[in-house]
Amino acid sequence: MSRTTSLSPRTSRPPAPPAAPAGRGGPGPRRPHGRALRAADPDLGASTVEYAMVVLAAAAFGGVMAAVLASGQVRELLTALITKALGV
């Protein structure tokens, strides 16, 4: 009496070759390109614009903060706060 284990093959067929990735001549739907891609995806490039807007807003905020901190009143306030905190 012979027993088969889970490690022994049940059939002698070779495994099927892997399928080619879609869009590279293999099976599957073809991806649009060029003008058709722009028409198919209206949000193409939206994340890039969002990142650019965030960077622009951060730069503007930094410029405003630099101008505020460079003013005489804020400088005096910060100097007084540091002097009081250090007890000098």
Range of the domain at 58: 50-86
Contact indicator for 41, 34 with CB cutoff of 8 Å: no
Rounded CA-CA distance 56/72 in Å is 27
- In 3-state terms, what secondary structure has residue 65? helix
pLDDT, greater one: 69 or 3: 69
Residue 64 inside a domain? The answer is: yes
29 within 8 A of 22, measured Cβ to Cβ: yes
Confirm whether 30 is domain-assigned: no
Question: Of 51 and 5, which is predicted with more confidence?
Answer: 51
Does residue 13 sit within a domain?
Answer: no
Q: Does residue 61 sit within a domain?
A: yes
The answer to whether residue 78 sits within a structural domain is yes
Residue 62 lies in a domain: yes
Q: Could you tell me the two tokens for 75? A: 């400088």
Average the pLDDT over 63-74 and give the result: 89
In this structure, is residue 69 part of a structural domain? yes
**What pTM was computed for the model?**
0.41
pLDDT in tens, 11-22: 566 666 666 555
Q: Where are the alpha helices (DSSP H) in the chain?
A: 35-40, 46-70, 72-86
pLDDT for 14-52, tens place per residue?
666 666 555 555 556 666 666 666 666 666 667 888 899
Per the prediction, the chain carries an average pLDDT of 75
Give domain status of residue 18, yes or no.
no
Give the contacts of 4 (CB within 8 A, at least 6 positions apart).
Answer: 10
